[in-house]
Amino acid sequence: MSGQTKSKSGILYPDMYVDSLLDIPLDELQGKNIKAFILDLDNTITEWNSNYIREEIAAWFKTILDQGFKACILSNNGQQRVVQVAQSLGIPFISRAKKPRRGAFRRAVELMGVQPEETAVIGDQIFTDVLGGNRAGLFTILVVPIARREFVGTKFSRAMEYFVLRRLRKDRFPTK
């Protein structure tokens, strides 16, 4: 459903749900003409509040860039932390994004020089990453958080996400 805004009932649902970045089917996405990824930082690329990038995650970024995908970090974190991770991966970033507002998602698409229908959002939160990506008309991929440790405000959102995930798993992804 990329390139168009989802119905109200589906705005909290991702197009794809996987365990981690490593489980994203790159060939399948290339078949859908996806050329770029907008990625969340905390609990998607790194553990919350950490700049450490696991070796397998760094290798995944090398793979996607070698395959011609573009990537951009989109984070609600401040610039100092986001820039360190983005520079180590060799990709652009947008900090203080105010997700789920659409503006930063649109800026990331422009920054990478792609079209919305060629872009997938990857993140671990429904109410920021998936909601924002869906509102911007982008293909959305929900990943299971890397770790349990997270910002206190995120813990509140996780409690609300439980109900969406329960329905999501039942309706669309029964194996999760």
Per the CB < 8 A criterion, the answer to whether 80 and 45 are in contact is no
Q: Which residue range(s) make up the domain with 143?
A: 29-171
Mark 149-171 as b/e (b = at least 16 C-beta within 10 Å). ebeeebeeebeebeebbeebeee
In a domain, 14, yes or no: no
In a domain, 15, yes or no: no
pLDDT of 10 reads 81
pLDDT of 155 reads 53
pLDDT of 49 reads 77
Q: CA 113 to CA 109: how far, in whole Å? A: 6
Question: Taking residues 10-33, what's their average pLDDT?
Answer: 94
Q: Which residues contact 167 (CB under 8 A, 6 or more apart)?
A: none
In a domain, 10, yes or no: no
Could you tell me which residue, 90 or 4, shows the higher pLDDT?
90
Sheet containing strand 93-94, edge to edge, reads 16-18, 139-143, 119-123, 36-39, 70-74, 93-94
Pairing of strands 93-94, 70-74: parallel
pLDDT digits (tens, 9 = 90+) for 95-115: 999 999 999 999 999 999 999
Which CATH number goes with the domain that contains 126? 3.40.50.1000
The total number of structural domains in the chain stands at 1
In a domain, 9, yes or no: no
